Homo-oligomer: A and B are copies of this chain.
Amino acid sequence: MGTKGERTRSEIIEAAKGLFYRRGFGQTSFSDIVEQTGIRRGNINHYFRTKQDILKAVVDQRASEYRAILSDWDTRHRTPKQRLHRFVQMVAAYRHELTRYGCPIGTLCGELGKESWDSQNAARILFDVFCDWLTTQFEQLGEPTQARARALHLLGRAEGITVMAHVYGDPALVATEVSALEKWINGL
């Protein structure tokens, strides 16, 4: 696949990524992707036969982005506590987007976990990326047997308050919960 082909493929993935997030996976059609990119349906199908194929590429793309961010934090922040703080600060920084559309991972997994799709497995890896990384931080902080439970607790609290902020259209809810989480991290 030449350079132009790679660019076209990336353009399709980028458009689908945004549409799946803003509109939902089920409510995004090939026509929406055609409209947004200006790439003809036949050309899109040259790269992706089905919407599930596009989903897989979008999830891979998100997973790569997240891994790059976490790897950058590993380099920049020396202690596990600093890294945990960086994670909750990221949640706070995205609060306006989260309030508008919900969590990109949580809403996608919620939708794909219904029996109409039953393909939540396809997106679970995005939670794994954060859960594994958070588990490593909590392990390094001590009490390794508690590490995964703490990672899931932290992810759950970030997810949950994102749901409430999305429902009530109130980004301040995220900021309040992030403060509580920072205290919790400091106390560990």
Chain B's closest residue to A126 (CB) is: B167
Bound together, the chains give a CA A23 to CA B115 distance in angstroms of 5
List residues of chain B with CB within 8 A of the CB of A152: 161, 164, 168, 173
Report if A120 contacts B (CB, 8 A). yes
Check if B159 sits within 8 Å of A127, measured CB to CB.
Answer: no
- A117 surroundings in chain B (CB, below 8 A): 24, 27
- Are the CB atoms of B167 and A124 closer together than 8 Å? yes
Decide if the interface of chain A is mainly helix, strand, loop or mixed.
helix
User: Nearest B residue to A26 by beta-carbon distance?
Assistant: B26
Q: Which residues of B contact A160 (CB under 8 A)?
A: 155-161, 163
- B167 near A113 (CB under 8 angstroms)? yes
Query: Bound complex: CA of A114 vs CA of B21, how far in Å?
Result: 8
Binds B, one of A44-52, A103-111, A135-143: A103-111
Q: Counting CB contacts under 8 A, is A14 at the interface?
A: no
A-B CB proximity, top 7 nearest:
A160-B160, A27-B116, A156-B160, A23-B116, A159-B160, A156-B161, A24-B114
A residues adjacent to B (C-beta < 8 A) = 22-24, 26-28, 101-102, 106-107, 109-111, 113-117, 120, 124, 127, 149, 152-153, 155-161, 163-164, 166-168, 173, 176-177, 180
A–B complex contacts, Cβ < 8 Å, 29 sampled: A22-B115, A22-B116, A23-B116, A24-B26, A24-B111, A26-B27, A28-B116, A101-B113, A102-B113, A106-B163, A107-B111, A107-B113, A107-B114, A109-B167, A127-B164, A127-B168, A149-B176, A152-B161, A152-B164, A152-B173, A153-B177, A156-B161, A156-B173, A157-B157, A158-B160, A159-B159, A159-B160, A160-B161, A160-B163
